[in-house]
Amino acid sequence: MEQVLTPTHLPQTVEARNPGIPLDLDWALGVQANRSAIERRCATLPGRRSIKKHHQAAWLAKAVACIDLTTLSGDDTPMRVRRLCAKARQPVAASTLEQLGLPNLKTGAVCVYHDMIATAVDALDGTGIPVAAVSTGFPAGLSPLHLRIAEIEESVAAGAHEIDIVISRRHVLTGNWQALYDEMVQFRAACGDAHVKAILATGELGTLKNVARASLICMMAGADFIKTSTGKESVNATLPVTLTMIRAIRDFHDRTGFRVGYKPAGGISKAKDALMYLALMKEELGNRWLEPDLFRFGASSLLGDIERQLEHHVTGAYSAGYRHALG
């Protein structure tokens, strides 16, 4: 088969990290969100973006490179994490990757609880795949602040390259924007050189206006990424929430010059859904935000369906889902 795809792990432009800016409440509180217009814009996307054949395979390979392969269960074991890391190193069958011309395709990161950081770091040694850890009392974020900060510091010391923190939703719901900003500044400082992803838990923030304002406040406080959800809420990533957050990212970049990444998480399990998120990112933010340093999927089951679609692309036949287990 002709090699029609391009590698997705080429060296990336080194971006200056978002250092944060002073809290600008006039800017944040001036943000509005027209829910009906946002939902109407998102509803038109599937009809306008039909991606087929070689183009679909290329986009799905891009999605694989942007997945944070995740296990966040109470019954996680070192063996399960090692299997997940093996899947991150080779997310798609070697024969399929060879036919696609992408022998070095890897996932964007592996995301685990603190106790599994050392195992993941060891299993991924030499691969260049970063280890992300959830922190700050994930998923509720209701433990004492000094313990949440200490948890970040412990995870960084254990070798985590990225820290996914959860904000205090009550600060958003009560309009205490100064408290949210101050908290995020402390989380960013505790991360040091590790990049910080701020999880907004958008399903618990009430309105899209709150989502937009919380997004801006976290970026003002120095977040490297903003992320929709913990994956544990009743409502996780949606296209309207995504459009709201990435327009906040665009606004922040236009005003400050700093690029902040975006991570939808929870509820994205089908390859066709991944294509819609990628298309929205391209339309709203451009190609630069389609690279793993600025875009991630918080998902695991998504990879199985993408692998199945890629195998169909090269063989012409669909395989059974159980042939594409995560580990």
- Residues with catalytic function: 164, 227, 263
Listed in order, strand segments (DSSP E) in 30-148 are 67-70, 109-112, 131-134
Maximum Cα–Cα distance for the chain, whole Å? 58
Q: How far is CA 224 from CA 162, 196, 282, in A?
A: 10, 5, 19
- Whether the CB-CB separation of 304 and 321 falls below 8 Å is answered with yes
Sheet holding 297-298, edge to edge: 261-263, 225-227, 195-199, 162-166, 131-134, 109-112, 67-70, 297-298
Residue type for 211, please? V
- Angular region, 159: left φ>0, alpha ψ -120 to 50, beta rest: left
306: Cα separation from own chain's centroid: 17
> What's the burial of 204, exposed, middle or buried (CB within 10 Å: 0-12/13-18/19+)?
middle
CA distances from 54 to 27, 145, 189 (A): 43, 49, 44
- Check whether the bond before 139 is cis (ω within 30° of 0): yes
Q: Is residue 7 within 8 Å of 104, Cβ to Cβ?
A: yes
